[in-house]
Chain A
Amino acid sequence: MYIYDDYDQRIVDERVDQFRDQTRRYLAGEISEDEFLPLRLQNGLYIQRFAPMMRIAIPYGLLSTRQVRKLADISRRYDKGYVHFTTRQNVQLNWPSLEEVPDILAELATVQMHAIQTSGACIRNTTTDQFAGVAADEVVDPRPWCELIRQWSTFHPEFAFLPRKFKIAVCGADEDRAATLVHDIGVHLRKDYQGKVRINILAGGGLGRTPVIGALIKEDLEPEQLLNYLDAALRIYNRYGRRDNKYKARIKILVKAMTPEVFAREVEDEWNRIKKISQPLGPGEIERIARNFTRPDYEALADLDFNDLALQGSPQFQRWLKQNVSAHQQAGYSAVTLTLKATADAPGDVSAEQLDEVADLADRFSFGELRVSHEQNLIFADVPQTKLPELWQALDRIGLATPNRGLLTDVICCPGGDYCALANARSIPLAEEIQRYFEDLDYLHDIGELDLNISGCMNACAHHHVGHIGILGVDRKGEEYYQIQIGGSATRETTLGKIIGPSFKREEVPDVIRQLISVYLEQRHDGERFIDTSLRLGLEPFKEKVYGQKAA
């Protein structure tokens, strides 16, 4: 956990004062509706379908239990007693009132939290691997770098009014768990042969109505130059990104129009100019930030034999152990995922009571910290393996031991038509119908890893383009329909899904998914996941199965 120093605290406190004053001036008629809009957005406040919605940042996904309890408390006092974890390491309240937002921000500031730049055409919350700092395949811990980017981007004076929102994701492990290739900028941390940190930068990825995979624009950047380089990239985007058309304003359109080579060259030239006048970051700053991350007080433990451990528990425990428990850097410890995907709960939703219970458990089992992932799940990152059976029991009791991490029912889902004014179709009820349809755990585990993503419109808040199966809500003459695509993935080899054919009514969707899966089950090679088989076979056999011979 990064612990604020007095400066960090002062900055968020002054932000609260600023927004309190702005809200007062707005309510007094001194600031017009249009002028207030970006001010409230940059403090996380949307006006959506039924009420305002407030988005709170969870920088790079880290939460202390004190913060979790504060969120629970806020959701009870200012909202309806539940919160929604999003696909961008943010958390949302659905019903706060505008007048109370300054108070909510003040409450958040007491636990070192904020809603700064969680919306608006500015640099948004930086996201990363939910297993940062504990993943067994990690090369560089991304957290200090994320915090550095958080600080740099916070109230960056030049980039508060960009052509469009701007999202940066950081990854420092072999596996990319931060979907960096579909972000405006992806930061890849690596080590050179001498063990020094070096950085690769990708630009121009994004989803929405024009999905694009990011292009590598810089290799082996020295870490001291990271912020100067980002300044250069953002300046080129700020100056030349399109402002005439909202749908063409993201950096991906600029990079495409310029070509990645030319864009990279422009950035390089600007960076060379900046380098001349701006001091590089001293090595002391990264170390200082790294020091302000508390490290859990690990005990010297040995890794347990998971086969033995599994035999001590019930079949449910065994499933959970296999599916929801991940390898750790520290011997004797594991990371545990709590999927917020029990059937009948809206994906990502958690009640205030559950938050309090989760906080108690994180205090008992995981050093008082937890993580949120872009799959809308919670993670206990530092659980001693000896305590796994006890933790499982406690989670099972509160309904958070669903053993489906990475499986079909671990659906990534946007708020859709139930909450969002932009939706073409509802997504939460579909997620629930799918979860109900695929309740058979043996079948689910036999299918294995399968990312299912459901977005209610082409804005792609649930990343449907990079789901192994992606579902998109579409409007056909005022009726809700769902278009299905397969073959997407957000890994180092990111692929964008391809549409299988005409869209379906909601009640047809679960069975279509079953048919797609049946093709996989019939044709998979040993060890292949759904995504591997679908990429190997291409669309045809899947189309044939779903639409019959003639359509294919």
Chain B
Amino acid sequence: MDRKLLKDGEFCPDNSIVWHPDLIITDDVQDILVPLSLWLSHKEDIRPLSLRKLLYILPDDELTETEADLSEFNGIAIEFPGFLDGRGYSHARTLRDHLNYRGEIRAVGDVLVDQLFFMKRCGFSSFVLKPGQNPDAAVKALNTFQFSYQQGSDSQMPLHHIRKCL
């Protein structure tokens, strides 16, 4: 595994693995990503596992089905099957804005330097970079723009509020 997790400005190895019922969990695994469909059918098997659990969301998933269970997870991972598939952005915003989710939201899959700024603004707080991405460029990309026109799901104020406060 040479995937790196970027979180709070630091890199660490990504020791996560997607859970399935026949999974043999080795020692190096720290986080399991639990696909929403398997969670719905295997809650009782998954609950006792003493690993960090992230709910694993795919583009087609409907988040409203998960609302009650979110507190059972240490975080949420949203899959980008290809970087051109932008549905993950809407999922993150729905979690932050409508489901009021405050925990970790992690971008996984085809996660590239040049989309990190958008991901951050949609409420993602950690990123598993696709292998081969330049780590320095990644850190820099999180701050590409100082100001943003529109309301996002991060802490940045939209420009029309800043202008109003002047």
Q: Which A residues are within 8 Å of any B CB, using their own CB? A: 5, 7, 10-11, 14-15, 18, 21-22, 25, 30-31, 35, 38-39, 121, 151-152, 154-162, 227, 235, 238-239, 243, 273-274, 277-279, 281-282, 284-285, 288
Contacts and interface: CB of A to CB of B under 8 A. Distances in A.
11 contacts: A7-B162, A10-B146, A30-B137, A151-B150, A152-B150, A157-B118, A158-B152, A235-B93, A238-B86, A277-B98, A288-B163
Contacts of B144: 14, 18
B97 A25 contact: no
B149 A14 contact: no
Contacts of A279: 151, 161
Nearest 7 A/B pairs, CB to CB: A161-B86, A157-B121, A157-B118, A151-B149, A158-B89, A285-B160, A152-B150
Select the residue from B114, B122, B148, B163 with max chain A CB neighbours within 10 A.
B114
B146 A239 contact: no
Given A22-B114, A273-B98, A156 B150 contact: yes
Secondary structure dominating the interface of B: helix
Contacts of A22: 114
Nearest to A282: B164
A7 B163 contact: yes
Contacts of A25: 134, 137
Given A14-B144, A31-B114, A238-B87, A157 B97 contact: no
B149 A35 contact: no
Contacts of B145: 11, 14-15, 18, 155
B147 A11 contact: yes
A interface majority secondary structure: helix
Interface of B: 83-87, 89-90, 93, 97-98, 112, 114-115, 117-122, 134, 137, 144-152, 159-164
Nearest to A37: B84
Contacts, number: 99
B160 A121 contact: no
A5 B147 CA distance: 13
A159 B83 contact: no
Contacts of B151: 278-279
B152 to A, nearest CB: 5
A375 to B, nearest CB: 30
B90 A239 contact: yes
Given A151-B159, A161-B84, A161-B86, A227 B146 contact: no
Contacts of B84: 38, 121, 161
B38 to A, nearest CB: 22
Contact of A160 (B118, B159, B160): B118
B90 A158 contact: yes
A384 B90 CA distance: 50
Contacts of A162: 86
A157 B134 contact: no
Contact of A284 (B85, B146, B149, B164): B164
B93 A158 contact: yes
Contact of B85 (A7, A15, A161): A161
Contacts of B86: 121, 158-162, 238
B122 A158 contact: yes
Nearest to A274: B97
A282 B165 CA distance: 12
Given A18-B144, A25-B134, A160-B118, A7 B89 contact: no
Contacts of A15: 145
A155 B148 contact: yes
Given A157-B121, A238-B86, 10 more contacts: A5-B163, A7-B159, A157-B122, A160-B86, A160-B89, A160-B115, A162-B86, A238-B87, A278-B151, A279-B151
